Structure 1
């Protein structure tokens, strides 16, 4: 008889870009895969893979108590109906709310994938401290299942959550990122012509988008840009459910100003990265950003922030350069430093590809998840 796996995920695009290979491999290994997911317009796509979909009315940006209680009850009802052997909770809200529902529903085994700490841990002030205290208590409850593994993408997040929740070492796994398809993301020669500097991400303030735009302005006013024709490009879309999102009005102002090009959301990231000379992500904090491991696999030099998650995605001064978060001038200087040295870009790109092959291969990531699934499901059946 097939074991039942239930994944609980906020949004369809994150599941498809970050967890699809794991769900497909679970199918191959004779799991019946269910996906409880926030309201989606990709139902047919999800069902085409053979998954059983359970839509949830779960808004990522909402922190209203009534809404959260309603979400817990929805997830609980799905768990009671499916009767999964194993639940995999993906990202912060599903981990916190789904963790509580899993304990109420007495599911046999839980995987909690903590892929970042969220905007609550970026804010400062008394209100932010209070929110962090509340979230910390939620983690302690949500991760209190007796047969659970919490998967972290970097050691900083692991340390913080373990301190808040009291998780022991036997309940912890460290897997650096969601992996990259090394067959799809291949190295191509650096493009000729005007160098292109790419920031590809959801267009959020805490991704360092504003700092990137200001760095582009500095480059455009320097002697470097007119001489070399450097192009700074934003790839991605706003995320209205996130309080940190850039507005459409701001995007239009940037487009009119011309310091950056706005390419919008793109599904052809292989081609986008192939067109780049340097890939930039000046984020304030991450789990472990997928775009940086994709850039490494494509052999592109990286400039990113010296913060948890970002610094875990590179080898400093080998595959990329670290700069202080929220600082414009060091970011601009690092970009120009690399653009002035094409041979260094190529060397860092080659080193990045080696790092991707050693650490970020999606096949290894999937294999590690299957090991965890089998271990937990086995214990849950006892």
Structure 2
């Protein structure tokens, strides 16, 4: 008997490896023939070495040329006709829209749409109003009564239900993509000047500007701390911070910029506090789960997704979005109180073990696959 086929559609190979590779491996162990359709950059070997088939696609996350975008839809439709998967798993907003449209064109029945947050289109009321309305209409046409939808936080689930994009029975809440509890483990804080780390794609929407402003305030007040940016700008995102700006901040001594790092356990081990002042439309930011698992207190915004990972006053502090003053005050509170900071770090590890382990996310997603494949009554 042939194994059921599972096809992931993801925009970037690095994103699949960082957020969905354990799921692909878990699905293969559960008996699926797993393939990944994505743009290939530097992670082809990692995907193939995991025993997954790789299907290269030419696509762009930030593309706005209608003809090129339609070609992407046709490309994934061709893959669906060739592969004939039992389940198509679209991951993130653009693959959800384009993959669902391709599924309609080809008659693909088994579809799982995983929304890892709704992005800036829904997070920023001052921008993208017309585009937001178009996406809501597309959701209603493409998702309602068609397949299953996985969301990462209750706010996104409520929005999809209120806009009638999906029915309640289509939805599953799985909070984040999980964290490897063996790879990210608590370590004692290192001696020396405390390090506050913001690790993310370097976008304005991630609160990088507010982080820098908070660092300036604290430095002016005589607070001893190092403020570190980890990551690189995303050239395909409209909110990417120019490299010249990052260099200017570094040259002025406001922040350190460590660039893109693949050794996040080591980065967090050098950090005393993790910070993500995001007002992007997050799902549940993976870096916050990693920081919690590594036993680090967190300062983040009271925004959908971020507040899923951090309970205010328990494993970190929540601040209003776009408020550099409140951010500076929260950071100072924990910089000045090492014992409270370490207690929050211990609570973060406990929460990660209880709620955010990678294995639990894989089990919950495999259950969605099983339910989708059940014969109709």
Compute the displacement of 1:210 (Å): 0.7
Could you tell me which residue of structure 1 aligns to residue 322 of structure 2?
A: 326
Q: 2:287 aligns with which of 282, 286, 291?
A: 291
Write the distance in 2 (CA, Å) between the matches of 1:96 and 1:165. 16
The Cα of 1:161 is off from its aligned counterpart by 2.1
Q: Please name the residue that 2:43 is paired with.
A: 42
- 8 Å CA contact 1:179–1:293 kept in 2: the answer is yes
Root mean square deviation, CA, Å? 1.4
Structure 1 contact 235–264 (Cα < 8 Å) conserved: yes
Cα deviation for residue 149 of structure 1 reads 1.2
Alignment of 1:76-225 (within 5 A): 76-125=77-126, 128-146=128-146, 148-225=147-224
Assess if the C-alpha contact under 8 Å between 1:25 and 1:366 holds in 2. yes
Within 1, Cα distance between the matches of 2:42 and 2:185?
A: 31
Check conservation: 1:98, 1:142, Cα contact below 8 A: no
CA positional deviation for 1:145: 4.9
- Return the match for 1:250 from 245, 250, 261: 245
How many equivalent pairs are there?
Answer: 375
Q: Distance in 2 between matches of 1:25 and 1:165?
A: 32
Q: Does 2:266 align with 1:271?
A: yes
Number of the residue aligned with 1:338: 334
In 1, distance between residues paired with 2:173 and 2:329?
33
Q: Distance in 1 between matches of 2:70 and 2:162?
A: 25
CA contact (8 A) 1:143 1:165 kept: no
Secondary structure at the counterpart of residue 257 of structure 2: strand
- Give per-residue Cα distances to partners, 1:1-46, cap 9 Å, x unaligned: 1000000001111100100000001111121111110243332332
- Cα deviation, residue 165, structure 1: 4.2
Question: Which structure 1 segments of 5+ residues have no match?
Answer: none
**Take 1:143 and 1:120, find their aligned partners in 2: how far apart are those partners?**
18
What's the TM-score once normalised by structure 2's chain length? 0.96
SS class of match (2:187): coil
The 2-side partners of 1:91 and 1:379 are apart by 27
Q: What do the CA deviations read for 1:309-365 (whole angstroms, capped 9, x no partner)?
A: 111111111111000100111101110110100000111011111111110011100
In structure 1, what is the Cα distance between the partners aligned to 2:141 and 2:159? 15
Cα deviation, residue 290, structure 1: 0.5
Q: Which secondary structure state, in structure 2, belongs to the residue aligned with residue 224 of structure 1?
A: coil
What is the CA-CA distance between 1:162 and the residue it aligns to?
2.5
Corresponding position of 2:11: 10
> Does the 8 Å CA contact 1:203/1:239 hold for their aligned counterparts?
yes
Counterpart in the other structure of 1:259? 254
Distance 1:165 1:191 in 2: 50
Q: Following superposition of structure 1 onto structure 2, how do residues 219-234 of structure 1 map, counting pairs within 5 Å?
A: 219-225=218-224, 230-234=225-229
Q: Which 5+ residue runs of structure 2 have no aligned equivalent?
A: none
TM-score (norm 1): 0.95
